[in-house]
Amino acid sequence: MPSPSVPPKRKPKPERSLAGRFPGLADEWDPALNDGVTAWDVSPSSKMRPVWTCSTCGHRWRTLVRNRALPQEGTNGACPPCAGVAAGPLRNLARSRPDLASEWHPTRNGDLTPSTVTPQSARLAWWYCEPHGYAWRAKVAHRYRGGDRCAECVRAEPLPESVAYVRLFST
Ligand SMILES: [Zn+2]
Ligand SMILES: [Zn+2]
Protein backbone atom coordinates (compact mmCIF):
# COMPACT_ATOMS: atom_id res chain seq x y z
CA MET A 1 0.00 0.00 0.00
CA PRO A 2 1.24 3.55 -0.63
CA SER A 3 2.33 5.57 2.39
CA PRO A 4 -0.14 7.82 4.24
CA SER A 5 -0.82 10.99 2.30
CA VAL A 6 -0.37 13.61 5.04
CA PRO A 7 2.00 12.71 7.90
CA PRO A 8 1.24 14.60 11.13
CA LYS A 9 3.40 17.66 11.73
CA ARG A 10 3.49 17.67 15.52
CA LYS A 11 2.14 15.34 18.14
CA PRO A 12 -0.95 16.33 20.12
CA LYS A 13 -1.00 15.90 23.91
CA PRO A 14 -1.85 12.26 24.73
CA GLU A 15 -5.26 13.11 26.19
CA ARG A 16 -6.15 15.09 23.08
CA SER A 17 -4.84 12.54 20.59
CA LEU A 18 -7.01 10.14 18.60
CA ALA A 19 -5.98 7.25 20.87
CA GLY A 20 -6.71 9.29 24.00
CA ARG A 21 -10.16 10.34 22.87
CA PHE A 22 -11.27 7.40 20.69
CA PRO A 23 -9.68 4.16 21.98
CA GLY A 24 -12.02 2.12 19.76
CA LEU A 25 -10.57 3.76 16.65
CA ALA A 26 -7.04 3.31 17.97
CA ASP A 27 -7.74 -0.44 18.11
CA GLU A 28 -8.34 -0.38 14.34
CA TRP A 29 -5.09 1.46 13.69
CA ASP A 30 -1.97 -0.59 13.02
CA PRO A 31 1.25 1.49 13.12
CA ALA A 32 2.96 -1.18 10.99
CA LEU A 33 0.60 -0.31 8.12
CA ASN A 34 1.05 3.43 8.62
CA ASP A 35 4.79 4.03 8.43
CA GLY A 36 5.14 3.72 12.20
CA VAL A 37 2.68 6.55 12.89
CA THR A 38 0.42 5.66 15.84
CA ALA A 39 -3.02 6.80 16.95
CA TRP A 40 -1.25 8.79 19.71
CA ASP A 41 0.50 10.89 17.05
CA VAL A 42 -2.57 12.42 15.46
CA SER A 43 -5.50 14.50 16.63
CA PRO A 44 -9.13 13.51 15.90
CA SER A 45 -9.39 16.36 13.36
CA SER A 46 -6.36 15.17 11.40
CA LYS A 47 -6.51 15.08 7.62
CA MET A 48 -4.11 12.15 7.53
CA ARG A 49 -5.53 9.24 5.53
CA PRO A 50 -4.27 6.11 7.29
CA VAL A 51 -5.03 2.45 6.69
CA TRP A 52 -7.71 1.13 9.05
CA THR A 53 -8.37 -2.53 9.87
CA CYS A 54 -12.02 -3.17 10.76
CA SER A 55 -12.31 -4.89 14.15
CA THR A 56 -15.57 -6.51 13.03
CA CYS A 57 -14.75 -7.96 9.61
CA GLY A 58 -11.00 -7.55 9.11
CA HIS A 59 -11.39 -5.42 5.98
CA ARG A 60 -8.67 -2.81 5.35
CA TRP A 61 -9.41 0.57 3.83
CA ARG A 62 -8.28 4.20 3.89
CA THR A 63 -10.20 7.22 5.01
CA LEU A 64 -9.35 10.53 6.71
CA VAL A 65 -8.90 10.41 10.50
CA ARG A 66 -11.49 13.20 10.86
CA ASN A 67 -14.04 11.24 8.78
CA ARG A 68 -13.95 8.50 11.38
CA ALA A 69 -13.54 10.52 14.57
CA LEU A 70 -15.71 13.53 13.69
CA PRO A 71 -18.09 12.40 10.94
CA GLN A 72 -19.98 15.32 9.44
CA GLU A 73 -22.87 15.29 7.05
CA GLY A 74 -21.84 13.60 3.82
CA THR A 75 -18.66 12.10 5.26
CA ASN A 76 -18.95 8.62 6.57
CA GLY A 77 -15.71 6.95 7.54
CA ALA A 78 -17.35 3.63 8.43
CA CYS A 79 -15.91 0.34 7.17
CA PRO A 80 -17.40 -0.02 3.63
CA PRO A 81 -18.36 -3.73 3.86
CA CYS A 82 -19.91 -3.26 7.30
CA ALA A 83 -21.76 -0.20 6.02
CA GLY A 84 -23.09 -2.34 3.17
CA VAL A 85 -21.46 -0.45 0.32
CA ALA A 86 -18.59 -2.77 -0.62
CA ALA A 87 -17.66 -6.42 -0.55
CA GLY A 88 -15.44 -7.64 2.28
CA PRO A 89 -14.40 -10.85 4.01
CA LEU A 90 -17.80 -11.23 5.70
CA ARG A 91 -19.96 -9.76 2.97
CA ASN A 92 -19.57 -11.04 -0.56
CA LEU A 93 -21.31 -13.29 -3.06
CA ALA A 94 -19.00 -16.28 -2.49
CA ARG A 95 -19.89 -16.30 1.18
CA SER A 96 -23.60 -15.62 0.99
CA ARG A 97 -24.45 -17.62 -2.17
CA PRO A 98 -21.91 -20.38 -2.93
CA ASP A 99 -24.43 -21.83 -5.42
CA LEU A 100 -24.26 -18.68 -7.55
CA ALA A 101 -20.52 -18.37 -7.04
CA SER A 102 -20.16 -21.86 -8.57
CA GLU A 103 -21.76 -20.51 -11.77
CA TRP A 104 -19.30 -17.60 -11.96
CA HIS A 105 -17.64 -17.65 -15.39
CA PRO A 106 -14.05 -18.82 -14.90
CA THR A 107 -12.36 -16.60 -17.51
CA ARG A 108 -14.58 -13.74 -18.69
CA ASN A 109 -14.85 -11.58 -15.56
CA GLY A 110 -11.38 -10.04 -15.42
CA ASP A 111 -10.43 -9.12 -11.86
CA LEU A 112 -13.99 -9.45 -10.60
CA THR A 113 -14.56 -12.55 -8.44
CA PRO A 114 -17.43 -13.76 -6.23
CA SER A 115 -15.33 -12.60 -3.25
CA THR A 116 -15.06 -9.04 -4.54
CA VAL A 117 -18.72 -8.30 -5.32
CA THR A 118 -21.60 -7.79 -2.93
CA PRO A 119 -24.71 -9.95 -3.44
CA GLN A 120 -26.66 -6.77 -4.26
CA SER A 121 -24.10 -5.48 -6.77
CA ALA A 122 -25.47 -3.85 -9.92
CA ARG A 123 -22.41 -4.96 -11.90
CA LEU A 124 -22.83 -7.11 -14.98
CA ALA A 125 -20.98 -10.39 -14.74
CA TRP A 126 -20.54 -13.44 -16.95
CA TRP A 127 -21.99 -16.72 -15.73
CA TYR A 128 -21.45 -20.27 -16.88
CA CYS A 129 -23.68 -23.31 -16.40
CA GLU A 130 -21.40 -26.31 -16.60
CA PRO A 131 -24.05 -29.03 -17.20
CA HIS A 132 -25.41 -27.09 -20.18
CA GLY A 133 -22.20 -25.44 -21.37
CA TYR A 134 -24.21 -22.23 -21.42
CA ALA A 135 -22.61 -18.78 -20.86
CA TRP A 136 -24.59 -15.59 -20.30
CA ARG A 137 -24.36 -12.11 -18.85
CA ALA A 138 -26.48 -10.84 -15.98
CA LYS A 139 -26.40 -8.40 -13.11
CA VAL A 140 -25.24 -9.92 -9.84
CA ALA A 141 -28.24 -8.46 -7.96
CA HIS A 142 -30.71 -9.98 -10.46
CA ARG A 143 -29.23 -13.40 -9.98
CA TYR A 144 -29.21 -12.93 -6.21
CA ARG A 145 -32.95 -12.25 -6.34
CA GLY A 146 -33.53 -15.45 -8.32
CA GLY A 147 -33.75 -14.06 -11.86
CA ASP A 148 -31.60 -14.41 -14.97
CA ARG A 149 -30.94 -18.12 -14.66
CA CYS A 150 -29.42 -20.38 -17.30
CA ALA A 151 -32.00 -20.57 -20.09
CA GLU A 152 -31.45 -24.33 -20.51
CA CYS A 153 -31.96 -24.98 -16.79
CA VAL A 154 -35.27 -23.10 -16.90
CA ARG A 155 -36.38 -25.07 -20.00
CA ALA A 156 -35.50 -28.39 -18.38
CA GLU A 157 -37.79 -27.81 -15.41
CA PRO A 158 -40.96 -29.97 -15.17
CA LEU A 159 -44.26 -28.36 -16.16
CA PRO A 160 -46.16 -26.63 -13.36
CA GLU A 161 -48.90 -28.82 -11.81
CA SER A 162 -51.77 -26.73 -13.21
CA VAL A 163 -50.66 -27.38 -16.81
CA ALA A 164 -50.51 -31.12 -16.21
CA TYR A 165 -54.01 -30.99 -14.67
CA VAL A 166 -55.51 -29.22 -17.69
CA ARG A 167 -53.96 -31.83 -20.02
CA LEU A 168 -55.44 -34.66 -17.96
CA PHE A 169 -58.99 -33.36 -18.27
CA SER A 170 -58.93 -31.94 -21.79
CA THR A 171 -58.79 -35.31 -23.58
ZN1 LIG B 1 -15.94 -4.18 8.58
ZN1 LIG C 1 -28.10 -24.80 -17.15
Ligand 2 centre from 60 Cα, in Å? 37
**Closest ligand (CA of 54):** 1
Residue ranges covered by each domain of the chain? 1-85, 93-155
Average confidence score pLDDT of the chain: 87
CB neighbourhood size of 46 (10 A): 24
**Closest ligand (CA of 151):** 2
Confidence tier at 101 by pLDDT (50, 70, 90): very high
Q: Give the pLDDT score at 125.
A: 95
Ligand 1 centre from 31 Cα, in Å? 19
Ligand 2 centre from 132 Cα, in Å? 5
Three-state SS for 62? strand
Return phi, psi of residue 131, to 5°. Answer: -55, -35
**Closest ligand (CA of 133):** 2
Q: Give the pLDDT score at 89.
A: 80
Return phi, psi of residue 138, to 5°. Answer: -160, 155
